[in-house]
């Protein structure tokens, strides 16, 4: 019952509160979430750079895949979020639930497609993105784990936006921030303490994204 009341209060706030209050409540956590997402790349490059220039270059190459997955998740999430907000405003909660379900499973489907094709054509993909012979081994190791986590990365980004569309930007921020903080903690441990090298950076990133996904799904 409390969850139902909480959801009704969030929707009521978005519909009835003054516009400037809604903007502030929505904007601040959203900005923080965007900053947190950009931290993934900076943290990876910061720690991986100690492994050498080839490893740093590999992170830059593979993160174009990471960004592409996020971009598709953003496209699905923003489109669905707009429709959900419109449906909630019209008090069509069943339509909003259907849109959320379709967008969530669509993001997982896209992630699975990227994962399968990426793993099959990993060498060709790294070559297309500009990996040289010295960079290729590092890029393939890093990309392997990022591609495996593609469904999680894409769907967590969609959940992030869907929560915001329902008036829960703070919940969205909490989910994304926890994963990013965990990534910062795990990266030096996996890279240097466990001597996993660039694989450790990728594993830490995947664990951070996975934790964000679980938290966002629970909050949703």
Residue 28 vs residue 8, higher pLDDT: 28
125 pLDDT higher than 50: yes
Cα–Cα distances (Å) from 103 to 39, 76, 158, in that order, read 26, 6, 7
Share of the chain above pLDDT 90, in %: 27
146 pLDDT higher than 60: yes
Q: What is the mean pLDDT of residues 80-89?
A: 82
Name which of 20-34, 68-82, 204-218 the model is least confident about. Answer: 20-34
pLDDT at 11 (0 to 100): 59
Residues of 66-104 as b/e, b for ≥16 C-beta within 10 angstroms? beebbebbbebbbebbebbbebbeeeeeeebeebbeebb
33 pLDDT higher than 80: no
DSSP secondary structure code for residue 90 in this structure: T
C-alpha closest to that of 179 among 161, 199, 152, 198: 152
Q: What is the mean pLDDT of residues 94-106?
A: 89
């Amino acid at each position: 019952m409390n969850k139902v009341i909480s959801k009704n209060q969030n929707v009521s706030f978005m519909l009835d509160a003054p516009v400037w209050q809604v903007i502030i409540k929505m904007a601040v956590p959203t900005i923080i979430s965007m900053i947190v997402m950009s931290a993934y790349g900076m943290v990876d490059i910061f720690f991986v750079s100690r492994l050498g220039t080839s490893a740093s270059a590999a992170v830059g190459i593979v993160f174009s895949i990471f960004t592409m997955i996020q971009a598709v998740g953003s496209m699905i999430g923003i489109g669905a979020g707009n429709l959900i907000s419109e449906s909630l405003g019209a008090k069509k909660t069943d339509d909003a639930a259907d849109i959320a379900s379709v967008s969530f499973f669509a993001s997982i489907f896209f992630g699975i497609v990227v994962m399968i094709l990426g793993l099959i054509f990993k060498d060709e993909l790294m070559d297309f993105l500009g990996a040289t012979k010295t960079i290729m081994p590092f890029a393939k190791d890093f990309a392997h784990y990022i591609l495996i986590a593609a469904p999680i990365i894409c769907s967590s980004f969609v959940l992030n936006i869907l929560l915001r569309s329902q008036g829960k930007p703070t919940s969205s921020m909490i989910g994304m921030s926890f994963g990013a903080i965990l990534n910062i903690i795990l990266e030096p441990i996996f890279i240097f303490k466990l001597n996993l090298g660039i694989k450790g950076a990728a594993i830490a990133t995947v664990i951070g994204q996975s934790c964000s996904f679980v938290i966002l799904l629970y909050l949703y």
